[in-house]
């Protein structure tokens, strides 16, 4: 039952991604409306798949999801969808049409990547027994996902700059936010990424101290998240102080995200020993 519902959900997100891409390349308002409708339908399918797998849900179920390798991908997709839903009703809603294509493709990729681990017994050993553990997980995930939206903004900015340099059709250019708006979105996303990730790291350090009387166990995942935090901090100050040209910062943002995401995927799938690993 679950596998069927989950498979339909993946197909729905793939279709939503395709329609959202077509909507960005077309002036037909009907495509944008269908993309949003499909987004709602796909999200409902996603929620139903979670209910089917984990009903009845409890706080213990959340810890179980968080500790399983499939659940890790599921939670990433879940929080990404929450932020996308928020953007749809926030001050950025008029730019959702531009933000959605990359975001929905990413959600689809996450869901596809999780398929081999649906019935996997690999779990993370939870040594940090505390009510703060879910707080740490949620803050860290949301922080990393806001970094993803900074990546999306960086891609949009580079696309816009290239279109302007090529003097391409103004029709397509007008479908994207202007460069000033994109830079404001990038700053908005980067700042929130830094805030949430800093809070998540702070809670994680407290948990480590309570459990092991150390500030860090220097595991691979800890190192990755500290490097991620440092890169986001640097990118924030580069944007805040205008130290580099915007297009250089955008390239650095894209490179940083690709490196960090690659390390996260590698550390979760390939590494099966050590603290924070799915064994």
Percent above pLDDT 70 for the chain: 92
Are residues 86 and 133 both part of a single domain? no
Are residues 201 and 233 both part of a single domain? yes
Given 116, 140, 168, the domain boundary residue is 116
Are residues 175 and 88 both part of a single domain? no
Are residues 129 and 103 both part of a single domain? no
pLDDT tens string 24-57: 888 788 988 999 999 999 999 999 998 888 877 7
Given CA atoms 265, 268, 270, 273 in this order, what sign does their dihedral have?
positive
Q: How far is 220 from 207, CA to CA, in rounded Å? A: 17
Position 274 scores a pLDDT of: 64
Q: How far is 100 from 245, CA to CA, in rounded Å? A: 26
Are residues 65 and 132 both part of a single domain? no
Q: How far is 91 from 259, CA to CA, in rounded Å? A: 30
pLDDT tens string 167-187: 665 666 677 888 899 999 999
Provide the residue range defining the domain that includes 94.
Answer: 1-116
Are residues 101 and 173 both part of a single domain? no
DSSP letter at 117? G
Are residues 110 and 128 both part of a single domain? no
pLDDT tens string 185-244: 999 999 999 999 999 999 888 888 887 777 777 778 888 889 999 999 999 999 988 888
Q: Could you tell me which of 259, 239, 142 has the C-alpha nearest to residue 193?
A: 142
Per the structure, the count of domains in the chain is 2
Are residues 230 and 176 both part of a single domain? yes
Q: How far is 71 from 121, CA to CA, in rounded Å? A: 11
Given 116, 147, 182, the domain boundary residue is 116
Query: What is the residue-wise DSSP string for 194-231?
Result: HHHHHHHHHHHHHHHHHHHSSS----HHHHHHHHHHHH
pLDDT over threshold 80, residue 63: no
**Through-space distance between the first and last CA atoms of the chain, rounded to whole angstroms:** 27
Given 98, 116, 134, the domain boundary residue is 116
Are residues 42 and 176 both part of a single domain? no
């Amino acid at each position: 039952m679950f596998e069927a519902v989950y498979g339909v959900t993946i197909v729905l997100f793939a279709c939503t991604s395709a329609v959202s891409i077509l909507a960005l390349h077309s002036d037909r308002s009907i495509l944008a409306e269908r993309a949003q409708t499909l987004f709602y339908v796909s999200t409902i399918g996603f929620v139903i798949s979670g209910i089917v797998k984990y009903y009845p849900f409890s706080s213990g179920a959340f810890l179980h999801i968080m500790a399983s390798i499939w659940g890790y991908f599921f939670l990433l997709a879940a929080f990404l969808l929450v932020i996308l839903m928020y953007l749809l009703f926030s001050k950025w809603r008029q730019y959702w049409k531009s933000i959605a294509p990359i975001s929905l493709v990413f959600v689809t990729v996450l869901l596809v990547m999780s398929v081999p681990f649906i019935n996997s017994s690999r779990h993370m050993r939870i040594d940090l027994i505390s009510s703060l553990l879910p707080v740490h997980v949620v803050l860290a995930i949301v922080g990393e996902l806001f970094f993803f939206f900074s990546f999306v903004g960086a891609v949009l900015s580079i696309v816009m700059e290239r279109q302007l340099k090529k003097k391409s059709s103004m029709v397509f250019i007008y479908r994207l936010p202007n460069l000033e708006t994109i830079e404001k979105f990038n700053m908005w996303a980067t700042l929130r990424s830094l805030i949430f990730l800093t809070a998540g790291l702070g809670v994680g350090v407290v948990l480590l101290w309570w459990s092991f009387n150390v500030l860090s166990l220097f595991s691979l995942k800890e190192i990755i998240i500290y490097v991620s935090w440092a890169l986001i901090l640097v990118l924030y100050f580069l944007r805040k102080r205008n130290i580099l040209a915007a297009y250089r910062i955008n390239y650095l943002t894209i490179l940083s995200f690709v490196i960090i995401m690659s390390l996260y995927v590698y550390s979760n799938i390939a590494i099966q020993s050590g603290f924070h690993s799915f064994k």
